[in-house]
Chains A and B, each alone.
Chain A
Amino acid sequence: MKTNSVIVALVVLTSIAFSSIARADRDDDYDDHDKRSGFSSLSKRATVSPLYQKECGSCHLAFPARFIGANGWKKIMTTLDDHFGDNAELDKADADRILAYLEANAARESRWGWGREKTSLRISENRHFQREHDEVPRGVVGVNAKIKSFSDCQACHQRADKGSFRESEISIPGFKSWDD
Chain B
Amino acid sequence: MKKIALLVFLCLPAIANATVLDTMLSELKAQAGGEFTAAAGERMWIEEHVSKKDGKKRSCTTCHTKNLKNVGKHKKTGKKIDPLAVSVTKDRLTDRKKINKWFKRNCKWTLGRECNAQEKGDFLMYINSQ
Q: Which of B77-103 contact A (CB under 8 A)?
A: 77-79, 97, 101
Contact of B76 among A58, A86, A90, A91 (CB under 8 A): A86
Check if A85 is an interface residue, CB within 8 A of chain B.
yes
A85-B53 in contact given A59-B77, A151-B77, A152-B78 (Cβ < 8 Å)? yes
Check if A88 is an interface residue, CB within 8 A of chain B.
yes
A152-B77 in contact given A85-B53, A89-B104, A91-B101 (Cβ < 8 Å)? yes
Interface residues on B, range: 10 to 19
What is the distance, in angstroms, from B129's C-beta to the closest C-beta of chain A? 24
Contact of A148 among B54, B77, B101 (CB under 8 A): B77
Write out, one digit per residue, whether chain A residues 51-74 have a CB within 8 A of any chain B CB (1) or not (0).
Answer: 000000011100000000000000
| Most chain A CB inside 10 Å of its own CB: which residue of B53, B76, B106 | B76
- Beta-carbon contact of A90 and B101 below 8 Å: yes
A88 to B101, CA, bound (A): 9
- Beta-carbon contact of A60 and B109 below 8 Å: no
What is the distance, in angstroms, from A150's C-beta to the closest C-beta of chain B? 12
Contact of A84 among B54, B74, B76, B78 (CB under 8 A): B76
User: For B79, what are the chain A residues with a Cβ–Cβ distance below 8 Å?
Assistant: 58-60
Give 9 pairs: A residue, B residue, CB < 8 Å, sorted on A: A59-B79, A85-B53, A85-B76, A86-B76, A86-B109, A89-B108, A90-B101, A91-B97, A152-B77
**A-to-B contact residues, CB < 8 Å:** 58-60, 81, 84-91, 148, 151-152
**B-to-A contact residues, CB < 8 Å:** 53-54, 74, 76-79, 97, 101, 104-106, 108-109
